[in-house]
Structure 1
Amino acid sequence: MASTQQRYMRRGVTKFFFLTTIAAPTNIPTRQELTAGTDLSKQIADIEGWSLENSPIETPDLGNKFSTSIPGEDKAANSALTFYEDLASDVIEALLSKDAVGYICILRKGDIPQSKSLDVFPVRVGSRAPSYSTGTEPAKFKVSFSISDLPTLDAPVPAAAAG
C-alpha cells in the first residue's frame, strides 16, 4: 500500500541557524549548541546554493564512440543568504562580518527532533555587501559564504531539551 506524501512549502517550516561552535567531530550540534546559535530564518529574504555538486571525470576510450564518465570531486555550490536590513539593529551584520567562521545549520523540515533533515555547513564569510535599489522594496544585504569543510547532510535534528 502506497503512503501519502505530505508535501510542504519551505517558508514557515525550514529553519536556518548560525552557530559559532559545534564540539562533536561529526559537526552535528547538540540541542544546547543549536539553542545557543542565532536563528536567522525570519531575516532571510533569499537563499542561494547550500548543496553539494559533483564534477564528473570524462573517461573516453578507443573502443567506444560514447564518452563515459565517473564521479569526480565533490564541491559545495556557491552559497549565499540575502537578509533584510534592520534600521534599529546590526546584530546580523556583526555576527556575519567578513571572515567570521561558524556553521550554517539548516533544519529542512523544521525543528522536528530526530528527523534526519539537518544539514550542517562549516562556513567562513567571504563577503557582506548591501544591495542598493531605487525601487520600492525593502533594504537588503547579501552575505556570501565559503564552505570550509565537508558538510554533514541528513543528520538527525537534536532531541528536544528535557523539560
Structure 2
Amino acid sequence: MSATPISQSTRYYRQGISKVLWVPSIATLSAPSRAELNAGIDLSPEISASSGWEVTGNTEDTNALGSRFTGKVPSNTTAGDSSLTFFADATSVDVRTVLLRGDFGNVVWMDEGDVVNYLMDVFPVQVTGVPKQRDISAVAGIMVNFATLREPAENVSIPA
C-alpha cells in the first residue's frame, strides 16, 4: 500500500490576483474586521517588487558527549527584513504620500486575492526607510523598508 498523495493545487500567477494592503490599525491581528481592512489602502497597483515577508524558524544544535552526531531542535522564529518597491511618480504623488519613515501599521498579504474565507497574512510593522531607487537604466522606483515588530498572524481567514 502506498501513501496518500497530497491534493493537487490549482496553480496561479500572482500578478493581477494578489493584494497587498496597508492597514493603519487592526485591533486583533488574528481576526481583522472587514471595516479595518476597508479602512486600509490597496498598495497592489503600484508595487513593482517585494522582498522578505516570510516567517522562518531557527534551530539550535543539541551536542551530546555520548555521540558524534549533532541533532537539532526548533528554537526562535523570525521575520527577516522586508520591503516593497513602488513606481515613482514624475510629479512626486506616489507612495511617499502614504508611507513615511517611522509610520506604524500593518501590511496585509492576500496572496490569492481579497476573497472571503481565503487566507491572508498580517504583518505588524514599522517603516524603517523610504529610499529612492536611482538606477538610471530602469523605471524610477521607491523602496519602502519595514521592520516586523511582533509575530505576524499567518493563514487568517479573510472576513466578509
- 1:98-141 per-position Cα deviation (integer Å, ceiling 9, x unaligned): 000000000011011011x2100000001110000221x21001
The alpha carbon displacement at 1:27 in A equals 4.4
Q: What is the Cα deviation at residue 144 of structure 1?
A: 0.7
> Displacement, 1:94?
2.7
Distance 2:126 2:8 in 1: 40
Which amino acid is the alignment partner of residue 131 of structure 2? Answer: A
* Aligned partners of 2:20 and 2:108 also within 8 Å: yes
The equivalent residue for 2:127 is 125
In 2, distance between residues paired with 1:89 and 1:18?
19
Q: Which residue of 2 aligns with 1:142?
A: 143
Instruction: Report the Cα distance in structure 1 between the residues aligned to 2:9 and 2:136, rounded to whole angstroms.
Output: 43
- Distance in 1 between residues matched to 2:105 and 2:48, nearest whole Å: 21
Q: 1:12 aligns with which of 13, 16, 25?
A: 16
CA contact (8 A) 2:30 2:156 kept: no
- Calculate percent identity across the aligned residue pairs: 31
Instruction: Check whether the contact 1:46–1:82 (CA below 8 A) recurs between aligned residues.
Output: yes
Letter of the 1:142 partner, please give it: M
1:30-41 map, 5 Å: 30-41=33-44
Q: Which has the larger displacement, 142-151 or 53-62?
A: 53-62
Out of 78-87 and 3-12, give the one that drifted further.
3-12
**Alignment gaps of 5+ in structure 2:** none
TM superposition shift of 1:34: 0.9
Does the residue aligned with 1:105 lie in a helix, a strand or coil? Answer: strand
2:87·2:139 contact (CA, 8 Å) conserved in 1?
yes
CA RMSD of aligned residues (A): 1.6
What is the aligned length? 156
Aligned partner letter, 1:141: I
CA contact (8 A) 1:113 1:156 kept: yes
Unaligned segments of structure 1, at least 5 residues? none
